[in-house]
Each structure stands twice: as structure tokens, then as C-alpha cells.
Amino acid sequence: MAGAAAEDVRVLGLKLSPFVIRVLIALRLKRVEYELVEVRIAEPKSEILVKSNPVYKKIPVLLHRGKPICESAVIVQYIDEEWSDGGGSPSILPADPFDRALARFWAAYIDDKLTALIRASWKETEAAKVAELAEQIRQVLGLLEEAFAECGKGKGFFGGDSVGYLDIALGSCLGWIMGLEKGKSVKLFEAEKLPQLVGWAERFLAEESVKGLVPDADEYVKSIAARASATPAA
């Protein structure tokens, strides 16, 4: 976008974080140049993170002209509003108020249900409990399969013809989910049960605004394994 390169835009985070990935996709959609500043999220946390987000001390944080904006959903909406001056970039949130409310509802559902289940599954070591959590994830994805039919209106994305707010919310989790499938030997995205979501996922990952931003399954598996090996035994 014209003029965006001259602005001071930095993202505090880590490239494997689905929540950080959301912000990066939104910035790329808006053709905004940015710098990803990797920070330490374990104690002691990076000073710039604590200073920029003193309430939650979590990533991501968007620093725009030195001012911090926190929480991925808030940041994506800020990006959509801040860089909406006709620079040729698409709108991220739907224009219609009902469609916009619907997208926000399902995005909140993803954060409340899906991401919590994925986290729990990664941490779980008992096969039976992993299987139980995997079934709960499948149920959530089943509802999102139905949501796609309503939000996408027969088109390629939740946002219609192009990647939108809900696409970003769910799509940022795809690498995380694929890593879980590989690392825990569970099947979550099954073409027979989720034909629309499986097709959507392929289209989403092929988008220019997404390529290179969603890590593959191996990166997540390696990261979790490294973290586990670094954790002292009880």
C-alpha cells in the first residue's frame, strides 16, 4: 500500500504463534510492510513485551508509530480500519453488519473452544485422553463446516470471494492442527466428514497473502518436542 512502507510497523511475537500469524496475514492483505520482533514469552519475559502489554504480557502486540495495540482479534480489526483508504487492498471484515457480527461470533468461538482444545491436546500424554480431546475438536470443526456454508455463501472462503476475518481466525490455526495430527497420531481434517473445510484449507494455504506465514506440521512437532526435552522432570 502506498505510504505504508514509510510507517513504523512492528509486531512483537513468535512465528509459530497462531495469534501472531493472524496479524501477519492481515498486514500482508493490506500490503503493509512490517518488522517481526521475536520476543521471549517465558519468564523473564522480554522487556519490550512487558512494557508494551503490561496488562496481559502476551503476544502479539502491534506497535504502530510507537503505540501498542494488543490482542490478535483487536489488532486485526485495527489493521482493517487503519489501512482502508482505497489503496487497493481488500476489506477484512464484511461490509454488511449482520455478516460482520456473524464473523466475529465464530472467530470468538474458535478462540474460546478450538484453540483451548488444541493446547490441551498438545499437553496431554495419555492416549485415551488425547483421543477424547480429538473427538471434541472434530465436533468443533463440524460446526465450523456448517458455518462455512452460511458465511461463505457458496464461494471459496468464509469471507466470500477473498480471505476475510474468519478465514484468518481459523486459517492461522491450520499448521497447529496439522502438527497435532502428526505429533499425536490423530485425524482431524477428514475429507469425508469435512469436505468444505478441507477444500477451504487448501485454497487458504495457497493464497499469496498466506504463503510462508503458516508453518508446516513438522515445525510444530519439532518445537513441542524441543520444549518437552527442555522441561526438567518432576
Q: Domains plus CATH for the chain?
A: 4-82 (3.40.30.10), 97-226 (1.20.1050.10)
Q: Do residues 144 and 170 touch, judged by C-beta distance below 8 A?
A: yes
What pLDDT digit, counting tens, does each position of 13-56 carry? Answer: 999 999 999 999 999 999 999 999 999 999 999 999 999 999 99
- Strands laid side by side in the 9-13 sheet: 35-38, 9-13, 61-64, 67-70
In the prediction, which pLDDT does 61 show?
Answer: 98
What average pLDDT score do residues 55-72 get? 97
Name residue, grid cell 502428526.
Answer: 182
Radius of gyration for the alpha carbons in the chain, expressed in angstroms and rounded = 18
In the prediction, which pLDDT does 47 show?
Answer: 98
In the prediction, which pLDDT does 70 show?
Answer: 98
* pTM for this predicted structure: 0.93
pLDDT > 80? residue 81: yes
Residue-wise burial string across 122-145, b where 16 or more C-beta atoms lie within 10 A, e elsewhere:
bebeeeeebeebbeebbebbeebb
What average pLDDT score do residues 143-170 get? 96
Q: Which band of pLDDT confidence, cut at 50, 70 and 90, is reported for residue 6?
A: very low
